[in-house]
Amino acid sequence: MIFVLYSISLIILCCIPIIIIQYQSDIIIKNSLKNHLIFFLCKLIIISMFIYIFISNLSISNYKLFIIIGCFIFVVFHFIEGFILQNILTKHGRQ
Give the predicted TM-score (pTM) of the model.
0.78
Task: Give the mean pLDDT of 63-74.
Answer: 86
Which are the contacts of 93, defined by CB distance < 8 A and separation ≥ 6? none
pLDDT in tens, 39-53: 788 888 888 888 888
What are the domain boundaries of the chain?
1-31+61-95
